[in-house]
Amino acid sequence: MTTILALEGLRKNYGALAVTDDVSLAVEEGELHAIIGPNGAGKTTLIHQISGLAPSDSGRILFDGQDVTGMPMHARAKAGLARSFQITSVLPGFTAQENVALAVQARSGSSFRFFGDPSREEDLQREAMEALAIVNLSARADVLAGELSHGEKRQLELAIALATRPKLLLLDEPLAGTGREESERVVETLRRLKGRYTIVLIEHDMEAVFALADRVSVLVYGRIIATGAPAAIRADRAVREAYLGEEAA
């Protein structure tokens, strides 16, 4: 398999606190790689470092054969890194379709216009609807994003990310705040995306993680203590003691 993302000795300090501490990790093209760990382990900071939202104090990030360590976030996005956040980040006053069309337009490198070349407008809307269809939101295309349920907003975020034509999706707790039915819909969406896209997933829902992941890495106190197939991670004594506890029983 081809390694699409390689982290080499990543470190991020906030004052005297090492939030990520010599993190090295390889993500293979086409896999769904989950990163789990207790609160405060450094998971979101690591995603910030990968996406470019937070600069690393040391180490390297290689993406698709390119050293992106010093690249700003927008350049990494253009290179094919797309991410979602723990807190939904959609535009509530725009419809679901308009939110995705904005992402399509941003990818093309020009500003969004509501009036312009009709053929270009048709292309925007077609691509937006294709992304919404992937996440099962076609029927909600004309609904203002602010009126969508929390779970639908998470699915809309996925559609926005897909509209950028990513090579890798960084998903930061896509199930956060969702109820059972909404969670099941998001998990089903992720199951459909698996294999079509390379995905790095941070998630606290262990049932979802072990159902979806090809491999799992465990981050504790800023360090990766184990990486392997879900069954191996469940059985790892150090992981059980440090994090999973009864959840791994």
3-class secondary-structure state, position 228 = strand
- Of 78, 208, 237, 90, give the one whose Cα is nearest residue 158: 90
pLDDT digits (tens, 9 = 90+) for 110-155: 555 544 554 467 888 899 999 999 999 999 999 999 999 988 998 9
- Distance separating alpha carbons of residues 79 and 72, to the nearest angstrom: 11
Strand (E) or helix (H) holding 100: helix 96-108
3-class secondary-structure state, position 59 = strand
Within 13 Å and on the Cβ side, how many CA atoms surround 10?
32
- The reported pLDDT for the residue numbered 23 is 97
- The reported pLDDT for the residue numbered 109 is 61
Tokens of 63: 């993406």
Tokens of 189: 């969406």
Confidence of residue 242 (pLDDT cuts 50, 70, 90): confident
pLDDT digits (tens, 9 = 90+) for 187-220: 999 999 998 999 999 998 899 999 999 999 999 9
Per-residue b or e along 22-51, where b marks 16 or more CB atoms closer than 10 Å to that residue's CB: ebebbbeeebbbbbbbeeebbbbbbbbbbb
pLDDT digits (tens, 9 = 90+) for 50-94: 999 999 999 999 999 999 999 999 899 889 999 876 455 789 999
- Distance separating alpha carbons of residues 203 and 90, to the nearest angstrom: 20
Higher pLDDT, 39 or 19: 19
Mean pLDDT of 36-41: 89
**Angle 95-97-99 (CA atoms, 0-180°, nearest 5)?**
70
- The reported pLDDT for the residue numbered 116 is 52
- Of 31-35, 95-99, 179-183, which gets the smallest average pLDDT? 179-183
Q: Which residue's structure tokens are 């807190």?
A: 87
- pLDDT surpassing 50 at residue 245: yes
- The reported pLDDT for the residue numbered 194 is 92
Domains along the chain with CATH numbers: 3-248 (3.40.50.300)
Q: Give the chain's length.
A: 249
**pTM to 2 decimals?**
0.88
- Distance separating alpha carbons of residues 218 and 228, to the nearest angstrom: 9
- pLDDT surpassing 90 at residue 177: no
- The reported pLDDT for the residue numbered 115 is 47
